[in-house]
Amino acid sequence: MNNEVWSLLNYLGSPTWYITFAPSDEKHPIALYFADNKDTFVKEIRTPNQRHRLITNNPVASARFFHFVVQAFLKHVLKVDSETDDGLWGQTKGYYGTVE
């Protein structure tokens, strides 16, 4: 991974900015939808304890939610796959992501 980052820096130059994602899966309705076993979305207010139990019992839902948020950011904010539109901060020439 370290060699990949240095190669990208050598090829594109120093990055203009860095970003860190830390979405709150216990509070986001999409994460709760992924974690729920129901086939349809039911809009209900859950207690913090219920939300916590729902998310901790389904860690795959948290991973799916994180992936969803990152992909949505790349596609709709940075416009990574678009050849005609620039992203919110201009053209994205490169990006690199890691997950801890």
The per-residue pLDDT for range 5-50, each reduced to its tens digit, is 889 888 988 888 888 888 899 999 899 889 987 777 677 788 999 9
**pLDDT per residue over 46-99, tens digit each?**
899 999 999 999 999 999 999 999 999 999 999 998 888 888 888 888 888 888
Closest CA to 73 of 100, 49, 57, 92: 92
The whole model's pTM is what? 0.80
Specify if 74 maps to a domain: yes
Range of the domain at 83: 17-100
Specify if 84 maps to a domain: yes
- Please tell me the total count of domains within the chain: 1
Specify if 6 maps to a domain: no
